[in-house]
Structures are given as structure tokens and as C-alpha cells.
Amino acid sequence: MQQALIDFLSSTAIHAYIQNHAWVWPTMEMLHFAGLCMLIGSLLIIDLSVIGFARDIPLKIVDKFIIVTLMGFAVNAITGTLFFIGDPGRYAVNIAFRMKIVFIVIAGLNALYFTFRVRPQIEAGANNFSELGLNARLSTALSLTLWISIIVLGRFIPYVEDL
């Protein structure tokens, strides 16, 4: 199954384009890094505010950074998919990549929890971290932990072979 996916992706026009144009991979790397900066930078503001840092800043203002988080995630999802298509033999067998994807899925589920359980409290008028429950702080602490782990695993990908 894994080899069939690698063979299929290696036969696509997108794979050929990425492999045959030297400027594509470094451009994707730069975009992926920019998206990561947007994603992590905005998440730091949101998560640390919900945890209790910068207590004087109203959460409704901090909540506006979610659009930046989503834009950064979209850039990274697109470029990450293109990395996978561009070199499926490297990524499909890489344990760091697989763990990174699992952590991204968990982070996505955590983001859904935040969206449906914490954001309504902010929209209803919770103005600072003390008005949010412990679950909100745990969710944001988990978010920070997961995204730091995702960054570390992403950095391991070039150096970790199939185990």
C-alpha cells in the first residue's frame, strides 16, 4: 500500500514539476517557514493570553489573531502536501514525519475543542483568563506543547530514516 502511494505520487505532473524546477523546493521552504511563523506567532499570543500571560489585554482582541493562525496553517498545509508529493519516498517512510502528522491531527482536534468550547465563552463576554475554566487553559497548554513538538519533529525529518 505504501509503495503504491509512493509510485502513484511519483508519477504525477506535480511531482515532476517540483523535481524538474530547481526554484520550486526552496520557494516552498520559504513559504512553509513564513506560514509557520504566522501560525506559531499568533498561537503564542492566543494561547499564552488564555493561560494567563498579558492579563491586561482583553481576550476579544487576542481572539482576532485566530485568522492569522488559520492563514499560516493553510500555507503550511499546502506547502507540506507539496513536499510530500515532491518527495514521497522520503516522507512516506519517515517516522518523524508520521509522528508529526499524528500530532497535527491531535492539534486539529484540540483546535476544534477550543473553537466549540472556549471561543463561545470569549464571544459571550469572558474578558480575561480568570473568567475561563481550567479546561481552556489545559487546551491552550496542550496546543503549545503539540505545536512545539510538531516543529521539532519537522526539523527531524531530514535526519531520521525509516526505523
Mean pLDDT of the chain: 92
- Split into its structural domains, the chain has a count of 1
Would you state the cell numbers that stand for residue 104, as one nine-digit string? Answer: 497535527
pLDDT digits (tens, 9 = 90+) for 91-116: 999 999 999 999 999 999 999 999 99
Residue 117's domain comprises 2-159
Give pLDDT, residue 76: 98
| pLDDT above 90 for 38 | yes
What is the residue type of 61?
I
- Give the residue ranges of DSSP H helices in the chain: 2-10, 13-20, 24-51, 59-62, 66-86, 88-91, 95-113, 119-123, 134-156
pLDDT digits (tens, 9 = 90+) for 6-37: 999 999 999 999 999 999 999 999 999 999 99
pLDDT digits (tens, 9 = 90+) for 64-83: 899 999 999 999 999 999 99
